Structure 1
Amino acid sequence: MGSAYVTNYLDLDEEHDELQFLQESLEQINQISSKARLARLGSLVKPIHQSSRSLGKMQQNVDDTIASLKNMVKYFDCVRDEEPIIKQGPNEDDLLPYLKSINNLQLANDFIKQVNMRSCERVSKQIKQLLEVGLQNLNELFKKWLQQYSEPIDPTKYKSPLDIPRPPPATLRLLEMLITYLSTSESEIGTTIDYTKSFIDIRTLYISKSMAAIYSAADTTRVQSTATVYQKGTSPFITLTVNLLKIAQAEHDFIESVLPGDSAMDVFIKTFHMPVKRYFESAEGLIQSARRTIQTEKFMLFDVFETLKFYQNELDKVLYLSPSERKIISNLIASMSTPLMTSFAEYMEEAKSMAKISMPHDGTIYEFSSSAMSHMKRLLDHQETVESMMVTLGDGHWGYIADSSMTAKPRKTFSGQVILKHYFMDILHLLTTSLEAKCKGSKKSGVSIVFLMNNYHYIAKNIMGSKLLDVLGENELRIYENLDWKYQDHFCAMWKSCVEYLADDNGGPMGLKNKLVGHDKMTIKDKFKHFNSTLDELLRNQQGYAIPDQDLRLNLMDRIREMLIPAYSEFMERYQHTEFAKNSGKYVRYTKDILDRTIQRLFNSP
């Protein structure tokens, strides 16, 4: 039984394995059949799928073609659609619709260029013609808006370039937008609309009119006679230079804010071509005029010289000067240098002529004195320039012109200030010699004393109260102060004769006797009489003297009063109550107060 059971169990295993084999085989057969069916189905569906895709592409092509045709028709109809807007012109209050119309024409023009079909030539021509009309209208609007903000101004009323009026930001953006469209004219229509020429013409006129009054003032100066003493810094040429730079800087900023960078500089240079040329003409005319009358105009010429030197680099930088224009400035500076350097020697010759002028009859300030002090002080208004020229001339070479031949002459090496001091000392020596010579042969000692006192006081005061002291030094000042004090003492000494008549060596008759006798009375009468006559003569003579310096005048009056009033008061106290004369009023003509007021009216003082 056991063996039979084992045998049956083995048979079952074999059958199970066989069954599993059969199942796997069946599954493989099924898979092969399915693939075959799918392969067959795929072969049937593939032509249909390919046909469907082809139909889809054809439909897309048809749709694209229709869209392209519609787009092409739109460009071909562009002239018809945009012509009314273009010919009507831009609306200044609403520019965008007009610009949109220009954009549409530009797009149509670009499209037709790409199509490049002969059949499109007529439409292309129409589009370009309409574009030209549209861009010309924009150019006219650009000129109109630019003109509105190009009214002449007075540059002198504005402190800096930033203060000069310019279009508001919104207008600047509109101008910039118009320029963007106008700059495409050549590529769009084959013709350049030169908006830069319009810009240059309008702004050049604006600048010329704005500067006209300043140019005129500079031109008028050179034809006017010198009726007044020139004051440093008042030359219209300085005003012209400063304001030309000011308006140029403002214009440069304006141009850069609206024009493309590649054209901004060129437009600026062309805009300022005429104003710069006019500036050089003004400078040349002024210099030529000043050179003809160098001694009366030299200080104005110094101002112009220093102005050009000071602003030379800034003019070049701001105005973008060309090499030829830079050379013009250099030539202008050189053309002033020579006459200014020769003016030092020319003044010495002029001083020698002034030294021959007679002494003024009232002893006032000598013409040579006022000229010399003014000349020296005014040179110090340009000290750096003058010292530089003095170094070029060399010490003591006031008669030489700065040319190539000078460099061969041996010179002492001094600083400019030392050489300038020597020049001033030469002038003062010539002046002092002339002053003393004028009085040497004069018989009117009184007026001679007043003359020397006035002039030495004037010289000392001018040295002490100016930069002359820094150049000449304390020692030179002390020389003229001592001369001033010396002649003040001489002047006051003339009044001592009055005081001498008031002296009483015996202590006065009242101190000796209770009653005046005839001799005493006569002595007192003589003293009053001589005092009165001497005082009258001094007053008469000195009423004709002039002492223009108020401080000197007051000082002299104080000294005379201190010398005369106390002595006269004491004399009056002694004798006013004595019976030295029946008619004492005949002799006592002055009270203390009247004498004081009389002295205060000396020299025509108020």
Structure 2
Amino acid sequence: VSAAALDSLAELGTYMESAEKEFNHKTDYTKIYSEVRSAYLKKAFTMLAQSAGPGDMKAGTVYQKGSSSFIGFTEGLIRMLKAERKILARVILHSDLDPILDDTVSPVMDMYAATGDTIVRNAQRNSQNSVFMLFDILDTLESSSAALNKCLQGTSKLARVAELQKAARASVITFFPEFLEGVRNAGLRPTPLSEDGTVHEFTTETLNSLKRLLEYDERVEQMLTTLGIGNWNLQTKTRTKNAAETGIVGSYVLDVIDTLMASLESLSRSYGKPTLAAIFLMNNYRYIVQSIDQSFRKWVGDTAPQKYHQLVKKQQDLYQDSWKPVIGILMDVTYIKGGEVKKSLSSSEKAQIKEKFRVRAALLWRSVAGNANASIHWLLELQRGIRHDLSQSAWIQYSGYRSPPGSHPTDWTGAHSHVLTLC
């Protein structure tokens, strides 16, 4: 409002107040002021209210910390409330301005509260983008609490803002056990798995959500402390003993990771092939370990990740065990009795040798075929380790031969060449 307009309104207000006293006639001009002014304010804030809700995010977009329009809505609301109090003090000569302010800002405050309620309801429906938006909104409400209390003192809307803050806080606290329970339930639902055993989308989504959650580390610690150690786990309080070592945030992170690994183990059973299940778990576990080292070490410390490294090694060993039938035949050594080497073989002896090579080739190609779709190439370190272990146990056994034992396309030399490129 310009200074000239304020002067005119102040002059009009003085005249109306004097006229009431002079003619002893109540005009209730403050109602007229509130109706006109509130309609203007409502129109000014409508677009901001619409953009501040969760509906302005396009499908598939990821909410960025601090990007909620509700933050700007709150800041604009506080500026408006401060300005309205100054305007009323200038143009209205009543001693009690709170009821007039209440009527004037009521439509805007109703829009503000309704927008906040919508975001809270979306968060309660487990919309993760809305949950992270809710973290920002709760921070905004609490940091703006003193200013809002001062601006709305004496109005009916002060209690409404307090209710919104309480609902947002309750929804944030509820998120922690519900998120963990969602990770657990994912392992119980039939879920399509890739044919090559690569890192599952469920793993990346869970860890990304956990990373985003820890962007609000101070708020997370505050909410978990309110919830109580271990109370976020609806099944069992498994991490209370680690809280002293890792802190309450680290305790929650470890609980989520343990639950994620348990769900992945349940999902791996749907493969029906132990080798592919081992590759699936090896890939996913290694991705989790890598995420711990890169993103969660600050909260879980240096000791806890050792357990997860051991789980990766266990799955790697299980995968390499799938080659034991082949390795077992390669380790078969035939001794020459009496020190005499035959320069000619009978038909039956030749047939025995051919049969041995046929069995070797069949076993080797069976192992190759069983792992043909497997993918462990996403991590070079793991690839090199498995390649080294296989080559040490297999290639050394073949190196004693000067030439291939046969030219059949499925002989063991061709198969072994494929083994070394498989990983």
Do they fold alike, i.e. is TM over 0.5? yes
Distance, in Å, in 1 between the alignment partners of 2:225 and 2:15 is 62
The alignment's TM-score, normalised by the length of structure 1, stands at 0.49
| 1:459 matched residue in structure 2 | 288
Q: 1:477 aligns with which of 305, 309, 312?
A: 305
Distance, in Å, in 1 between the alignment partners of 2:315 and 2:122 is 44
| 1:488 matched residue in structure 2 | 316
Question: Greater relative contact order (Cα 8 A, min sep 6): structure 1 or 2?
Answer: 2
Report matched runs for 1:5-84 at 5 Å: none
Matched residue pairs, number?
398
Report matched runs for 1:558-569 at 5 Å: 558-562=384-388
* Deviation of 1:332 (Å): 1.8
Structure 1 counterpart of 2:316, which letter?
A: Q
Residues 344 and 398 of structure 1 are in contact (CA less than 8 Å); yes or no, is this contact kept in structure 2?
Answer: yes
CA deviation profile, 1:410-450 (whole Å, cap 9, x unmatched): x99x8897344444444555555566677799973212322
Q: 1:326 to 1:474 in 2, by over 3 A?
A: same
Report matched runs for 1:552-591 at 5 Å: 554-562=380-388, 575=402, 581=406, 583=407, 587=411, 590=414
Distance, in Å, in 2 between the alignment partners of 1:271 and 1:420 is 45
Unmatched 5+ residue regions in structure 1? 1-145, 147-171, 401-410, 507-512
Distance, in Å, in 2 between the alignment partners of 1:215 and 1:366 is 39
CA deviation profile, 1:49-99 (whole Å, cap 9, x unmatched): xxxxxxxxxxxxxxxxxxxxxxxxxxxxxxxxxxxxxxxxxxxxxxxxxxx
| 1:386 matched residue in structure 2 | 220
| 2:162 matched residue in structure 1 | 330
Distance, in Å, in 2 between the alignment partners of 1:295 and 1:220 is 10
Unmatched 5+ residue regions in structure 2? 235-239, 335-340
Distance, in Å, in 1 between the alignment partners of 2:389 and 2:182 is 43
Name the SS of the counterpart of 2:144 in structure 1.
helix
* Deviation of 1:311 (Å): 2.6
| 2:113 matched residue in structure 1 | 280
* Deviation of 1:479 (Å): 0.6
Distance, in Å, in 2 between the alignment partners of 1:200 and 1:516 is 115
| 2:378 matched residue in structure 1 | 550
- The percentage of aligned residue pairs carrying the same residue is 23
| 1:215 matched residue in structure 2 | 49
Report matched runs for 1:169-318 at 5 Å: 172=2, 175=5, 178=8, 182=12, 185=15, 204=38, 207-219=41-53, 221=55, 228=60, 231=63, 233=65, 238-246=68-76, 249=79, 262-263=90-91, 272-291=105-124, 293-294=125-126, 298-317=131-150
Residues 179 and 195 of structure 1 are in contact (CA less than 8 Å); yes or no, is this contact kept in structure 2?
Answer: no
Residues 366 and 455 of structure 1 are in contact (CA less than 8 Å); yes or no, is this contact kept in structure 2?
Answer: yes
Distance, in Å, in 1 between the alignment partners of 2:272 and 2:8 is 90
The alignment's TM-score, normalised by the length of structure 2, stands at 0.66
* Deviation of 1:239 (Å): 0.9
Name the SS of the counterpart of 1:395 in structure 2.
coil
Residues 391 and 420 of structure 2 are in contact (CA less than 8 Å); yes or no, is this contact kept in structure 1?
Answer: no
| 1:56 matched residue in structure 2 | none
Distance, in Å, in 1 between the alignment partners of 2:60 and 2:168 is 22
Structure 1 counterpart of 2:274, which letter?
A: S
Residues 201 and 271 of structure 1 are in contact (CA less than 8 Å); yes or no, is this contact kept in structure 2?
Answer: yes
Structure 2 counterpart of 1:333, which letter?
A: Q
| 1:118 matched residue in structure 2 | none
Distance, in Å, in 2 between the alignment partners of 1:229 and 1:535 is 48
Report matched runs for 1:30-179 at 5 Å: 172=2, 175=5, 178=8
Name the SS of the counterpart of 1:465 in structure 2.
helix
* Deviation of 1:217 (Å): 3.9
* Deviation of 1:478 (Å): 1.0
| 1:395 matched residue in structure 2 | 229
Distance, in Å, in 2 between the alignment partners of 1:206 and 1:180 is 19
Q: 1:200 to 1:504 in 2, by over 3 A?
A: same
CA deviation profile, 1:85-131 (whole Å, cap 9, x unmatched): xxxxxxxxxxxxxxxxxxxxxxxxxxxxxxxxxxxxxxxxxxxxxxx
* Deviation of 1:210 (Å): 4.3
| 2:277 matched residue in structure 1 | 448
Q: 1:490 to 1:428 in 2, by over 3 A?
A: same
Residues 492 and 556 of structure 1 are in contact (CA less than 8 Å); yes or no, is this contact kept in structure 2?
Answer: no
Name the SS of the counterpart of 2:303 in structure 1.
helix
CA deviation profile, 1:552-581 (whole Å, cap 9, x unmatched): xx33433444456797699589645x7x55
